[in-house]
Amino acid sequence: MWSQKLTRSILDKTKNTVFKVPRWKPVVSSRCLQTEGRTTQSQSTVDAADVEFFSKQMNEWWDPYGKMRLLHSMNLLRVPFVRDGLVNTAQKELYPLKDKKILDVGCGGGILSEGLARLGAFVTGIDASEDLIRVADEHKNVDPKIAYNKPVYLHTTVEDHAKKVSNLYDGVVASEVIEHVQNQELFVKSCVHTLKPGGRIFFTTPNRTRMSQFAVIFLGENVLKYIPQGAHQFEKFITPTELTFLLERNNCHVELTYGVTFNPVTGKWDFSEFQQLMYAIQAVKLS
């Protein structure tokens, strides 16, 4: 399965044409614009339709019971995941991530960025949506716990950011983003480029299986409405094997792959063996 996906991304790259898969979402107009743009520009990871889609959620972004509630509750899982990937001392501290520079790629309104800043990390959040960067920039003034450690937000893409910085961050995080980008290979490559050798890179994303199609798109978006409808396109989902392949090709060694499950009764996220729905990956950049 992944070979097919890979061909797709290689095709994407070499011919610089867009490999269009029939889509369920009638967002053709913006998508056409984007296609035109891309033939003239150099490569981009931005899928304008997705970014526009998320920009529309800006007003509800920080409502813990609103449409973005799953991202809020997911912090309970992913903040410790990133923390334990970056520090593993027996002596626990209140600010375990202090002195750590972290890039949050596709930070959106900053839910994860703030969660990491609360642990003392110096966070740079980047996002392709100008609206969401504005939301994040406003919200960082709310929580007194990060008053002296506010994340820095930039409206940019990771490939542009990678042109300016290299080998800088102790940690790079892309949580629930890679399934929304074009050209996943360039995305991974650019992320790794900004990471220090020895630094850790973290992804969380849905798997591409029938089960995830059913659970994430059908149940999550259409039936239970935990996720805004139209947020995901199944064809863009990436499997753990594919992502591992992309990381290893970019000089990273995958250290951990966990299944991620959500319990709709308790409203809680958990790590498990079960990777069919969603997963989390941690890799280290080799020198």
Ligand X SMILES: C[S@@+](CC[C@H](N)C(=O)[O-])C[C@H]1O[C@@H](n2cnc3c(N)ncnc32)[C@H](O)[C@@H]1O
**108 is an interface residue for ligand X by CB under 6 A:** yes
Residue 261 CA to residue 263 CA, distance in Å, equals: 7
71: number of Cβ within 10 Å: 18
Q: Which residue has the tokens 């009764």?
A: 265
Contact call for residue 202 and ligand X (CB under 6 A): no
158 binds ligand X (CB under 6 A): yes
For the CB of residue 95, give the shortest distance to other proteins in the complex, in Å.
Answer: 9
Rule CB under 6 A: say whether 175 interacts with ligand X. Answer: yes
Binds ligand X (CB under 6 A): choice among 9, 34, 124, 157: 157
Q: How far is the CB of 80 from other proteins (least distance, A)?
A: 5
- Contacts to other proteins by CB under 8 A: 64, 76, 79-80, 83, 91-94, 96, 115-116, 118-119, 145, 268
Does position 201 interact with ligand X (CB under 6 A)? The reply is no
Among 119, 123, 181, 280, binds ligand X (CB under 6 A): 181
Size of the site for ligand X (CB under 6 A): 22
Annotated binding site for Mg(2+): 176, 179-180
Binding residues (CB under 6 A) for ligand X: these are: 45-46, 50-51, 54, 71, 106-108, 111-112, 127-129, 132, 157-158, 175-177, 180-181
State the binding site for S-adenosyl-L-methionine.
78, 106, 127, 175
